[in-house]
Structure 1
Amino acid sequence: MTGFTSTLLYIIRLLGEIYISIILLRFLLQMVRADFYNPISQFIVNVTHPLLKPLRQIIPSIGRQDIASLVLAYLVQMVLTCILLLIIGIPFGAFIAKVPIIALINLLEAGFYLLFLLFIGNAILSWIAPDSRSPAAILIQQICYFILAPLRRIIPPIGIFDITPMIALLLLFFLNNFIIGALASYIVPGL
């Protein structure tokens, strides 16, 4: 692979993963009923709306779950996977049957990584700026609070320490390794 090809591969992959993360954030923001007047929420809505609008006419939301956002993230991941494999030089017929599973694995990894970053960001914010009112801090807190609330009902704080973020990260790592490992090793052998 030439230097130009590897650079092109890196740029396309980076831009694709950023857009997929934005779509997944859109799903999370709607699920937690985050403040959509927040400037970051508005940016996410404006960036995802052109591709999401036609899908919403076909795929309705189910309660708080914006299924159209997940479908869009999966479709974008499939297109990104095809583009990357074509740039590498793998013939289209050789990978087309595996693209749906590869895209699912990559999308799950992106979702787990996004949650990991949100939990780490929330922990850092709680240490250095616990009462921050910045738009990013507010959204991170809203998402993490929604996800951590069920754990906090089961595991109360120990003194002044809240260990639920650590437990959530451990569960996240376990789910990531279990689900991604199972998909990669059993459904797509030789991947």
Structure 2
Amino acid sequence: MFVLANFLMAVARVLDIVLTLYMYVIIAQAVLSWVSPDPYNPIVRFIHNLTEPVLYRVRRLLPTVFGGFDFSPIVVILGIVFLQAFVVNSLFMMAQRMG
């Protein structure tokens, strides 16, 4: 049973790190939207390609543009925080109870 507990602990840690990194990429995308970066810059294109599928879905579902301000990064960040608080912590608790 301790093997499954260690596996769940590892999955929770990796998921937490991935969600945190994605949150930083969303923040970088929001900051880039305030300036006019070179669209041919490979870093700008990477960030755009990584974040736009999620941000597009949020923009399509919610009317998040008010007065030229896009609230979709805030909604995505809140979703990430929810996933970290609920899913990651649930995995940690499950692993602790098994081990």
TM-score category, normalised to shorter length: 0.7 to 0.9
Where 1:35 maps in the other structure, the secondary structure is coil
Where structure 2 has 5 or more consecutive residues not aligned to the other structure, the ranges are 95-99
| Alpha-carbon contact 2:23-2:80 (below 8 Å) kept | yes
- RMSD (Å) for aligned C-alpha atoms: 2.1
Q: Distance in 1 between matches of 2:72 and 2:67?
A: 10
Does residue 59 in structure 1 map to residue 64 in structure 2? yes
| Alpha-carbon contact 1:60-1:66 (below 8 Å) kept | yes
Shift of 1:20: 1.0
- Letter of the aligned partner of 1:87 in structure 2? L
- Letter of the aligned partner of 1:17 in structure 2? T
| Alpha-carbon contact 1:35-1:41 (below 8 Å) kept | yes
Alignment length (residue pairs)? 89
C-alpha distance 23-62 of structure 1, shift in aligned 2 (>3 A): farther
Scaled by the length of structure 2, what TM-score is found?
0.73
Where 1:34 maps in the other structure, the secondary structure is coil
Scaled by the length of structure 1, what TM-score is found?
0.41
Deviations, residues 112-145 of structure 1 (Å, cap 9, x unaligned): xxxxxxxxxxxxxxxxxxxxxxxxxxxxxxxxxx
Shift of 1:23: 0.8
Q: Distance in 2 between matches of 1:18 and 1:89?
A: 22
Shift of 1:74: 1.6
Between structure 1 and structure 2, the one with the greater Rg is 1
Q: After TM superposition, where is structure 1 displaced by more than 2 Å over at least 4 residues in a row?
A: 1-6, 32-37
Where 1:89 maps in the other structure, the secondary structure is helix
- Letter of the aligned partner of 2:26 in structure 1? I
C-alpha distance 53-61 of structure 1, shift in aligned 2 (>3 A): farther
Deviations, residues 49-97 of structure 1 (Å, cap 9, x unaligned): 111112223211644x43211221221221232111211227xxxxxxx
C-alpha distance 80-62 of structure 1, shift in aligned 2 (>3 A): farther
% same residue: 22
Does residue 43 in structure 1 map to residue 52 in structure 2? no
C-alpha distance 82-49 of structure 1, shift in aligned 2 (>3 A): same
Matches within 5 A, 1:93-132: none
Name the structure 2 match of 1:151: none
Name the structure 2 match of 1:84: 88
| Alpha-carbon contact 2:13-2:88 (below 8 Å) kept | no
Structure holding more strand per residue: 2
Where structure 1 has 5 or more consecutive residues not aligned to the other structure, the ranges are 91-191
Q: Distance in 1 between matches of 2:43 and 2:82?
A: 26
